[in-house]
Structures are given as C-alpha cells and as structure tokens.
Structure 1
Amino acid sequence: MAWHAPIVVHPPSPSGGRRVTVRGEILGLAHDDRDLIEFLRRAGLEDADMILDDPHLVEWRGEGPHRWAA
C-alpha cells in the first residue's frame, strides 16, 4: 500500500481557494495560509504553521505550496 501525507491541500478551485483534507476528512476551503493554519489548529495541530512545508505531512496538489489562485 502506498504511503500518503495525512494533510492534503487540493488544487485551487475555479472560484478560488483550496479544499483541505486530513486523512480524507474535509476541513474546509482555505483561501490563504492563515485559513489553512486555522483549519489545522482546529484539527488539533497546535504548531500547524511549522509544518506547511514538510512533504511528509502536507501534500500540495495541483499548484505548488502557498499558491491559492486558480
């Protein structure tokens, strides 16, 4: 079985923002890093701002990291 990062930031939607999932559970639609950090904090990751660039924890699909526009 292939290993996948537990946090996925999906490709930007045409209307803006990126869906965020943790282990398959949708947390919401983030429009910037602040939104993403808040979603992860609410999911129990207190140091979320420190892990955004860790590819073992966060998979950025479609556009690269920290890019929010379609």
Structure 2
Amino acid sequence: MASNPPVVVYPPTETGGRRVRIDGTILGTAYSLRDLTAFLQSAGLQGWDELDVAGSALIEWRGGGPDTWEH
C-alpha cells in the first residue's frame, strides 16, 4: 500500500466546502459527505456509500474528519 492515500480532502474553506483531490487531480469542492461520495463514485468506486467513505483508509482528511464541512 502506498504511504500517501490517493484521496485527499482538504480543510474547509472560509466559504464552506472542502477541496477533493484524487490521485493528484482536483475533482472539485465537496460540501458534504454525500458530495464526496459522489466524487468517489464518479472516479470508479461505484459500490461505495457514505459509511464506506467515512471509514476508508484511502482518504486523508486534513483539517477535520468526515463530520467537518464548515470553517
């Protein structure tokens, strides 16, 4: 397993939401766990739901975990 998870969720911005990067590519800004799940599904993780995303070791949460979406 790689030392860095392929998914990085950055800290919330001043206006809310968190940037999402997958394998070095910024996919956009997620405003909820549901948004993040949709990004991951579009990146090929079709069978994942919000519980899978919240508990995944593939995700590096910066500036708060899966419950933090506002600055």
TM-score range, shorter chain: 0.7 to 0.9
Aligned pair count reads: 68
Aligned AA for 1:29? Answer: T
- Between Structure 1 and Structure 2, the one with more strand by share is 1
Aligned AA for 2:67? Answer: H
Q: Structure 1 residue runs of 4+, over 2 Å off?
A: none
When normalised by structure 1's length, the TM-score is 0.86
User: For residue 70 of structure 2, what is the aligned residue in structure 1?
Assistant: 69
The alpha-carbon deviation at position 11 of structure 1 amounts to 0.4
Instruction: Kindly report the root-mean-square deviation, in angstroms, between the aligned alpha carbons of the 2 structures.
Output: 1.4
User: For residue 19 of structure 2, what is the aligned residue in structure 1?
Assistant: 19
5+ unaligned residues in a row in structure 1: which ranges? none
Counting only pairs closer than 5 Å after superposition, residues 48-59 of structure 1 correspond to structure 2 as 48-49=48-49, 50-54=52-56, 56-59=57-60
User: For residue 10 of structure 2, what is the aligned residue in structure 1?
Assistant: 10
User: For residue 61 of structure 2, what is the aligned residue in structure 1?
Assistant: 60
* Identity level (%): 49
Aligned AA for 2:54? Answer: L
When normalised by structure 2's length, the TM-score is 0.85
SS at match of 2:67: coil
The alpha-carbon deviation at position 24 of structure 1 amounts to 1.1
5+ unaligned residues in a row in structure 2: which ranges? none
